[in-house]
Chain A
Amino acid sequence: MRIAAAPLLLALALAGCATAKPPAWVPAEGTYTADRAGFQIDGPAGWMRRNYQPPVETFLATRDGTALQRIVAGTTELGKPLGFGKSKRPVTAGMSPAELGELVVDDLQSADDLTDVRLLESAPAQVCGRPGFHVLAAFRDAGLPRRATLYGATDGGRLFWIYYVAPERHYYPLDLPTFDKVRETFRLRGAPPPAPAPAAPPTS
């Protein structure tokens, strides 16, 4: 299992178009609206994106190829498993942020192709303006050490999530600032765009 592949393949399979031509890559810059999933996100300049459509609508962006870095955003309906790995444990209403973080790690640990899955940090976080969680995990995928950082929060019967995964060496730290900027734009559809960060005070 590749962390991005599961929801995307699931999307294709559910849509009954597993053999259909995948959506085209287009420049990621600009606001993307996921109508059915109910979120909006601003893609980074210089990256490409590809969006899988309903019933499982996801946003996928990369600059150099998904094996080297990818940002993926999407939603999971409450009552259903996350779908990153093979865990059957569903996301349920009333799960605390700590339990949601635990669920993510369980799901990664259940993935066939991932080994040495380690939780580095699980902490509360604001996501889409709601109390949510942040998970930072390390694992090996086909022997290559990778890191994944994931943010999520529940709203209206869904878990909204966004993650970034890249090889631990070089790529992960390189594009983490870009992910953080994109993550700050992740919002529920119809919510106002995030306010620009305050300018740094002048220094003498």
Chain B
Amino acid sequence: MRCPLAIAALLVAGCASTQIAARTGTAVKVDETDEQGLWQLAGEAQAELDRSGHLYADPDLEAYLLEVARRLEPAEVFQAIPFRFRVVRDRTPNAFCLPNGAVYVNTGILTLVGDEAELAALLGHEMTHAVERHALKQLRSAENSGALLNVLSSWTGAAARPGGLVFMASVAGYSRDLEREADREGLGRVVAAGYDPHDAPRLFERMRDWVTAEKIKPGSAFYASHPRLDERIESMRALAEASGASGGEHGVERYGRRTAGVLLDAARGDLAAGRFPSARREAERYLALRPDDAQGHLALGEIARREGAAGGEEAALASYRRAVEIDPKAAEAWRGLGLMLRRKGDGPGAREAFEHYLGLAPTAPDRAHVEAMVKEATGGKP
């Protein structure tokens, strides 16, 4: 890992030597002490995040985000602000950009995004915060230096905890005016890149649906940043209309192909947390993209088995059977099949499935359990 302080120093130096013309508002001098301090803090927060253990490490996905981002901003902007993209394993639909161009996108929002045009709108919005120096503007709008210091400390303090990142982006986020500016400027870049801007409001609509489905209450950290989702949906619709674009690229297939793994990961996370309806939706969306993927069918089988709902036995069995049909070496699917057949009282079937599992995973951590169930299936006591 590169030294974060060195990175911060480079970023500050790079920024100081390359003026980016702010598209709106007052031009900001970039070599002033407060911005250098801000960038240094951002570098430290970035380093904390990167070693937090909460990142969703997928270089291909990060590369995809960068590809989309490069369509939104000219090369000179990337020279001044070396945007880099990381994905955080967090089901909260959120994303944020540090002033030094480090953009963090939660898996939760990637599962809500429907196509590349929506992703472009999201990234365009976040990148605008950095290009237009919104953090600096917000800090300078603080009425006194004490308030400024408080914001700076809360930035690093919150960013030191992965859960606090949401808090930082939400509570210590940007003013309504700056968010509007990011929407407007971001959508302008989406149109210029050839995407259909009319897709952008749909992401906010899904976020609103998510807030409703999750029963997010006013006062919670996430809700604090999104009390005006309805307003933003309307605003995005108006901006899309005002752009004059009558269509454009959607990138549905490309987005699905490049981000499908996030859906499977989200399904597994929701499965572990017992959020079965969400897990099922994500697994089904994954299978719609990759219908012949054994892991997707395995996930559906696990969801049906662990949920234990009426009628779930047959669904679980069908999914496990499909998984081992596609990939006979899918050990976990054989295990699930054995557990379901055991539950149904099919001793010989359970034994056969468990033996497949143990043959494929001889060092499985639950080997002793499975051996006991094999013994039970052959008439011995567990």
Contacts and interface: CB of A to CB of B under 8 A. Distances in A.
A, B bound: yes
Interface residues of A, number: 34
Interface in B253-274: 269, 271-274
A144 to B, nearest CB: 10
Given A89-B274, A113-B163, A143-B53, A98 B339 contact: yes
Given A87-B274, A89-B274, A89-B306, A124 B53 contact: no
B370 A110 contact: no
Interface string B352-382: 0000000000000111111011000000001
B151 to A, nearest CB: 25
Contacts of A101: 366, 369
A35 interface: no
A182 B36 CA distance: 56
Given A112-B163, A140-B53, A106 B273 contact: yes
Contacts of B274: 81, 87-90, 106, 110
A2 to B, nearest CB: 13
B169 to A, nearest CB: 16
Interface in A59-111: 81, 85-90, 92, 96-99, 101-102, 105-107, 109-110
A91 B373 CA distance: 20
Given A81-B274, A106-B273, A122 B53 contact: no
Nearest to A107: B272
Contact of A92 (B271, B308, B342): B308
Nearest to B338: A98
Contact of A123 (B52, B275, B368): B368
Contacts of B366: 98, 101-102, 119, 121-123
Interface string B270-288: 0111110000000000000
Contacts of A92: 308
A95 to B, nearest CB: 9
A201 B339 CA distance: 43
A123 B53 contact: no
Contact of A110 (B273, B369, B373): B273
7 contacts: A88-B275, A106-B271, A110-B269, A115-B53, A121-B368, A123-B369, A143-B53
Contact of A122 (B269, B271, B369): B369
B51 interface: yes
A173 interface: no
B54 interface: yes
Contacts of B382: 124, 131
B308 A88 contact: no
Main secondary structure of the interface of A (DSSP, over half): mixed
Contacts of B53: 115-116, 140, 143
Contact of B273 (A88, A113, A140): A88
A112 B366 CA distance: 25
A88 B269 CA distance: 12
The 3 closest A-B pairs by CB, nearest first: A89-B274, A115-B53, A88-B274
Interface of B: 51-54, 163, 269, 271-275, 306, 308, 339, 342, 365-370, 372-373, 382
Contacts of B51: 143
A122 B365 contact: yes
A120 interface: yes
A118 B272 CA distance: 13
B176 to A, nearest CB: 29
Contacts of B306: 89, 102, 106
A41 to B, nearest CB: 25
Most buried by A among B54, B269, B271, B368: B368
A105 B306 CA distance: 13
Contacts of B275: 88
Contacts of B370: 98
Contacts of A143: 51-53
Contacts of B271: 106
B365 A124 contact: no
Contacts of B373: 96, 98
A113 B368 CA distance: 30
Contact of A124 (B273, B308, B372): B372
Nearest to B367: A123
B272 A110 contact: yes
A99 B369 CA distance: 10
A25 to B, nearest CB: 28
A131 B308 CA distance: 22
Nearest to B270: A110
A97 B365 contact: no
A87 B369 contact: no
B368 A124 contact: yes
